[in-house]
Amino acid sequence: MAKQITIKCGKSKNKYASGVTAADVAKDKKIDALAASVNDKLVDLSTKIRKDSEIIFVTYDTHEGKEIFHHSTAHLMAQAVIKLYPKALPTIGPTIEGGFYYDFDHSPFSPSDLKGIEKEMRKIVTEKLEVKRKQIPYKEALKLFKKNKYKIELIKEFEKEGKKVSVYQQGKFIDLCRGPHIPNTSYLKAFKLTKVSSAYWRADSKKDSLQRIYGVSFPKESQLKNYLRLKLEAAKRDHRKIGKELDLFSFHEEGTGFPFWHNKGMIIWDEVMNYMKAMLKKNNYQEVRAPLILNKELWLKSGHWDHYKNNMYFTLIDGQEHAVKPMNCPGHILIYKNSIHSYRDLPIRMGEFGLVHRHEMSGVLAGLFRVRSFTQDDAHVFCTEDQLKDEIKKLIDFVTEVYSTFGFKDYQIELSTKPQDSMGSDDMWKNAENALSAALKEKKIDYKINPGDGAFYGPKIDFHIKDCMGRSWQCGTIQVDFSMPERFDLTYEGKNNKKHRPVMLHRAILGSMERFIGIMIEHYAGKMPAWLSPVQVKIITVADRFNKYAEGVKAKLEEEGVRVEVDNKKETIGRKVREAQIQKINYILTVGEKEEKTKTIAVRTRDNKVKMGVKPDKFLKDIVKEIKEKR
């Protein structure tokens, strides 16, 4: 008789025979699972459980579930590619936000090639191939993948870790992978290969150029159809397209990856900047500015040289190597060190709208979303350990208020923990992670752990906002740093008249001005709230003889700071209205004989509602209130 084991699943505990699989337990519990977490370890459903355990089933609606599903689809795609193109060498196929990609050493794929690959994928799905995990010795793995230099390179790295090599097999296709994966290929019912592009092996331009095929996948066809519908809507909202139509910004070959801001774009920029500066003042921040270029020695000391130099720009000054700053923190540290501080001075909150430069590969540049120079709404808080938790809570409140003002009321939080390339002791990291999690718990905020994804100098919480189409954008971050104060020997004088080490908090809310404005443009489809609109009011004249009256209304609005233009071109009213609507003006005012005689205006809102006989003073009062309240 088989040994009995206890398995806890949620609040219930049940007895099963030793060797029961996670799939058997899921079937017993009537749970439609993709994989399972057994005693906090993600495993395949085929995993046998031989001791008392706690099991949590992973479904598609979880973050882990989506990653497993998408990565399994990447394997499905790789299997189809190898079947159709036997000479293609598969390299890696990770998941990305909302989908997956796989890189192949092969000549360029065409759009028609992708359709053929999709067709082969659907055939494999119908075959319901079992996805099996195997642990094989190092030498056997080298022999198995001897014709693929990319896999050999990865296997040799696994060998350094002192582990056996994990592979997954479905049909005749075998791939290196840690897993877990879905039980069989029939789970992958709905998918779409979205695009193909070039990519370098391991993102190194000195290495081989590969073909990267991107895709998305879902458990249901209806979910795929909804995704494709949203994709069409997203294309209409593309900030690059809208930015050109509304004359907000442009990009030029003379400065690849560097945005050129036009006058109307700068109006949006200034409104966002002025609001954030007012918020800094409200939250007792000092506004500072550090130099754009600093000596190599500073970046060595901060750790950026070792961890970030491939993304930095350099220049020689007086024969010494300098770097254009990729981050603002070392400059703020030097400002802190410039004075002697007492515990009475803390917390010190420094804010900077700092222009930074980072070298991005040309293939990943994407309008305002991925650029080579951008302005961070950056800040650093220097505080005592006793103040740390309260400062984190204040930052969370700060972030929440800002997002709410811009209309982003739905966001998720991730807590990212110690990465492999971290600086500082384990105790430092534990204290920092505990401070972040304690603050979140006291604020009664749900969050997800993101293991090993912290910054190299400390753990962080990231804020992922959702736009009107449900897309997630990582913008804000709060990072605890015990390491930098140690490396730069930052101190303050404590109550006992002895020197103590402050804690440093890194925080950004918008993340980058450029990217956040790009997100806003797509969120609003270019129809910015009145307080952000470059042109809030357009006055249209019926004929030239009403120009004087229109100019008088304009002057009255401008006196109260309303941004207004008069369209007195010799064109039809319909065409003028249409042009103003294309420019997404908030309010279109029409003046003609009736309006001049009654000293009124006709007001057309952006949703095409028209109100006649409105007194200019009443309209002025209403729009000023709307702008002031940032509706």
Is 575 known to be catalytic? Answer: no
DSSP one-letter code for 359:
-
Task: Give yes or no for a contact between 515 and 374, defined as CB atoms under 8 angstroms apart.
Answer: yes
Distance in angstroms (rounded) separating the CA atoms of residues 217 and 73: 7
* Structure tokens that stand for 246 in this block: 């509304």
Q: Minimum mean pLDDT among 50-59, 302-311, 352-361, 369-378: which range?
A: 302-311
In contact, 504 and 489? CB cutoff 8 Å: no
Instruction: Give the pair of three-digit tokens for residue 447.
Output: 């969050």
| Structure confidence at residue 472 (pLDDT) | 87
Whether omega before 180 lies within 30 degrees of 0, making that bond cis, reads yes
Question: In the predicted model, what is the mean pLDDT of residues 493-501?
Answer: 95
* Per annotation, catalytic residue among 71, 181, 380, 576: 380
Catalytic position from the list 70, 71, 358, 523: 358
Backbone angles phi, psi at 527, to 5 degrees: -85, 80
pLDDT at position 389: 92
Hey, what amino acid is at 576? K
Task: For residue 460, list its beta bridge partners.
Answer: 416, 479
| Rounded-to-integer distance, Cα 104 and Cα 107, Å | 9
Neighbours of 495 (CB within 10 A): 9
Identify the pLDDT of residue 514: 97
* Confidence check: pLDDT of 160 > 70: no
Does residue 358 carry a catalytic annotation? yes
Q: What tokens were used for 157?
A: 């790295």
The pLDDT of residue 162: 66
Q: What is the mean pLDDT of residues 201-214?
A: 93
User: With 90 as the cut, is the pLDDT of residue 236 above it?
Assistant: yes
DSSP 8-class letter at 93 = -
Q: Cβ distance 102 to 89 under 8 Å? A: no
Does residue 329 have an active-site annotation?
Answer: yes
CB 180 within 8 A of CB 42: yes
Secondary structure letter of residue 366 according to DSSP: B
**Cα 487-493-499 angle, rounded to 5 deg:** 50
Return the SS3 of 248.
coil
Q: What percentage of the chain's residues is helix, strand, coil (to nearest 5)? A: 40, 30, 30
Sketch the domain layout of the chain as residue ranges: 4-58, 66-225, 242-523, 537-628
Tokens of 558: 């401008």
**Confidence (pLDDT) at 256:** 93
For the record, the structure tokens of 381 come out as 């808080």
Structure confidence at residue 309 as a pLDDT band (50, 70, 90): confident
Catalytic (active site) residue 252: no
Average of per-residue pLDDT across 154-183? 88
Residue tagged active-site, from 170, 211, 376, 583: 376
Per the CATH hierarchy, to which homologous superfamily does domain 537-628 belong?
Anticodon-binding domain (3.40.50.800)
Q: Dump pLDDT digits (tens) for 170-180.
A: 999 999 999 99
Question: pTM for this one?
Answer: 0.80
pLDDT at 258 over 60: yes
pLDDT of residue 361: 84
Please say if 500 is a catalytic residue.
no
User: Is-contact 80 66, C-beta < 8 A?
Assistant: no
Given a contact cutoff of 8 angstroms between Cβ atoms, the answer to whether 245 and 582 are in contact is yes
Angle 371-373-376 (CA atoms, 0-180°, nearest 5)?
A: 100
Whether 93 and 72 have beta carbons less than 8 Å apart is answered as no
Average pLDDT over residues 65-91: 97
**pLDDT, tens only, 585-599:** 999 999 999 999 999
Which listed residue (75, 192, 212, 329) is catalytic? 329
**Residue 611: pLDDT above 90?**
yes
The pLDDT tens digits of the residues spanning 396-420 come to: 999 999 999 999 988 899 999 888 8
Class of 242-523 in CATH: alpha beta
The C-alpha atoms of residue 7 and residue 542 are separated, in whole angstroms, by 79
Question: In sequence order, what DSSP letters do the residues of 41-76 get, joined into one string?
Answer: EEE-TT-EE-S-EEEEEE-TTSHHHHHHHHHHHHHH
Averaged pLDDT for residues 97-121: 95
State in words which class domain 4-58 has: alpha beta
pLDDT tens, residue by residue, 525-562: 999 999 999 999 999 999 999 999 999 999 999 999 99
Report the pLDDT averaged over residues 558-587.
Answer: 95
Average pLDDT taken over every residue of the chain: 93
- What is the longest distance spanned by two Cα atoms in the chain? 101
523 is catalytic: no
* CA distance linking residue 274 with residue 628, whole number of Å: 13
Q: Which homologous superfamily does the CATH classification assign to the domain defined by 66-225?
A: Threonyl-trna Synthetase; Chain A, domain 2 (3.30.980.10)
**What is the residue-wise DSSP string for 474-509?**
EEEEEEEESHHHHHTT--EE-TTSSEEPPEEEEEES
Active site residue 380: yes
Q: What percent of the chain has pLDDT over 70?
A: 99
Q: What is the mean pLDDT of residues 205-227?
A: 94
pLDDT value, residue 2: 64
pLDDT of 1 higher than 60: no
CA of 329: how far to CAs of 95, 422, 427, 455, in Å? 31, 17, 23, 13
